[in-house]
């Protein structure tokens, strides 16, 4: 079985994690990694939102599956655009890791006035500017090792807690930011395993590593993003939770780029279609709360 992945240490860890889960169901299953360099990996000097959004990290990997050079692809779900390309399907969502953002170098409260925070995310920047209007920001690109090296040069950097955890660097986190303070990116902490839509045998195998709770949370958050019609260049975030009774709660956020306006709202439902719940929340933020005017600026 050929698994397409980006070449970073984190991407390889994620691909090996999925491969190990598949081998647990079939010890004799041979699994090889197909490492794909993406445009997002090649252009580290350009902000993600100027390169066309987060699809820059997945398009070439998806093409490897569609063209038959690989059988499946493993992605950080937060890197996926809202829509899945024709011919592909998200066949498995394994158990989700911590969805929170992490600060390395300082807590939000302890940053001195005017401190510089490094982040490549407009979502993080907008929410931090809302919380601390005195902060200034600089870009942050590269793999986790490169990003962590910047922590000594600025007041703090912001990265995904799941990335630190997966690379045994969680001890570097100074603060794990609760979603009530800063909403994470759609799909943050989750993995998405894609394969060709017509590969019934592989879809059956991948069903063995599916986590139903993680699937519902991801579908709700992706529904939210789909209705907004944007991806990485949009200051937006969402976090869905499934409770013990199967009820779903999703919090969503849209903001102005400068963080002067941040709109948040929650929606809750039982026995609901997760995608529809996410889309309904987005429509309320856009239509009822004035979010559409923010995104037009």
Q: What percent of the chain has pLDDT over 70?
A: 92
Helix intervals (H) in the chain: 9-25, 39-42, 59-66, 122-131, 144-149, 161-166, 200-206, 212-228, 274-283, 291-295
pLDDT at 29: 86
**Which of 191-204 are b and which e, b meaning 16 or more Cβ less than 10 Å from the residue's Cβ?**
bbbbbbeebeebbe
Nearest-angstrom CA–CA distance, 19 and 1? 9
Q: What percent of the chain has pLDDT over 90?
A: 81
Q: What is the mean pLDDT of residues 49-71?
A: 81
DSSP letter for 84, please: P
Nearest-angstrom CA–CA distance, 27 and 46? 43
Signed CA dihedral, 151, 156, 159, 164: sign only: positive
Q: What is the DSSP string of 95-137?
A: PP----EEEESS-TTTSPTT-EEE-S-HHHHHHHHHH-TT-EE
pLDDT at 28: 84
Do the beta carbons of residue 186 and residue 239 sit within 8 Å? no
Taking alpha carbons only, the member of 219, 197, 199 closest to residue 276 is 219
User: Could you report the per-residue pLDDT of 175-219, keeping only the tens digit for each?
Assistant: 999 999 999 999 999 999 999 999 999 999 999 999 999 999 999
Q: What domains does the chain contain, in order, with CATH numbers?
A: 2-94+191-210 (3.40.190.10), 101-177 (3.40.190.10), 222-295 (3.30.160.40)
Residue located via tokens 């986190």: 173
pLDDT at 57: 76
Least confident window among 64-78, 233-247, 276-290: 233-247
Q: Cα 25 to the chain's mean position, in Å?
A: 27
| 79 given a catalytic annotation | yes
User: Could you report the per-residue pLDDT of 138-165, keeping only the tens digit for each?
Assistant: 999 888 999 999 999 999 999 999 999 9
Confidence band, pLDDT 50/70/90 cuts, at residue 257: confident
Confidence band, pLDDT 50/70/90 cuts, at residue 44: low
Going by their DSSP bridges, the two strands 88-92 and 191-196 should be labelled as antiparallel
DSSP letter for 287, please: I
Do the beta carbons of residue 158 and residue 101 sit within 8 Å? yes
Catalytic residue among 41, 71, 79, 98: 79
**Phi, psi of 254, deg, nearest 5:** -130, 150
Q: Is the pLDDT of residue 232 over 50?
A: no
Q: Is the pLDDT of residue 76 over 80?
A: yes
DSSP letter for 170, please: G
Q: Is the pLDDT of residue 231 over 60?
A: no
DSSP letter for 43, please: -
Q: Which helix (H) or strand (E) holds 193?
A: strand 191-196
Query: Is residue 158 classed as helix, strand or coil in its secondary structure?
Result: strand
Which residues, 6 or more positions from 93, have their beta carbon under 8 angstroms from its beta carbon?
77, 190, 191, 192, 193, 210, 211, 214, 215, 218
Q: Is the pLDDT of residue 101 over 80?
A: yes
pLDDT at 184: 98
């Amino acid at each position: 079985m050929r698994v397409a992945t980006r070449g970073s240490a984190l991407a390889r860890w994620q691909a090996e994690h999925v491969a190990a889960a598949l081998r647990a169901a079939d010890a004799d299953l041979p699994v090889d990694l197909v490492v794909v360099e993406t445009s997002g990996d090649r252009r580290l000097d350009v902000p993600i939102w100027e390169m066309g959004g987060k699809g820059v990290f997945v398009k070439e990997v998806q093409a490897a599956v569609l063209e038959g050079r690989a059988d499946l692809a493993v992605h950080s779900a937060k890197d996926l655009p809202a829509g899945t390309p024709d011919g592909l399907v998200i066949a498995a969502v394994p158990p989700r890791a911590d969805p929170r953002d992490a600060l390395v170098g300082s807590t939000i409260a302890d940053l001195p006035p005017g401190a510089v925070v490094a982040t490549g995310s407009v979502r993080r920047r907008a929410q931090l500017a809302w919380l601390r209007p005195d902060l200034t920001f600089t870009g942050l690109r590269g793999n986790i090792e490169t990003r962590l090296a910047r922590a000594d040069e600025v007041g703090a950097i912001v990265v995904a807690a799941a990335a630190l955890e997966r690379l045994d660097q969680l001890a570097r986190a100074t603060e794990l930011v609760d979603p009530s303070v800063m909403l994470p990116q759609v799909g943050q902490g989750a993995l998405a395993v894609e394969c060709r839509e017509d590969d019934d045998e592989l879809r059956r195998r991948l069903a063995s590593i599916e986590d139903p709770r993680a699937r519902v949370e991801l579908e709700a958050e992706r529904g939210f993003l789909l209705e907004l019609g944007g991806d990485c260049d949009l200051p937006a975030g969402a976090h869905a939770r499934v409770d013990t009774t199967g009820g779903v709660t999703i919090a969503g956020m849209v903001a102005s780029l400068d963080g002067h306006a941040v709109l948040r709202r929650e929606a809750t439902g039982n026995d609901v279609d997760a995608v529809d719940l996410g889309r309904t929340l987005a429509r309320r933020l856009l239509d009822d709360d004035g979010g559409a005017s923010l995104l037009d600026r």
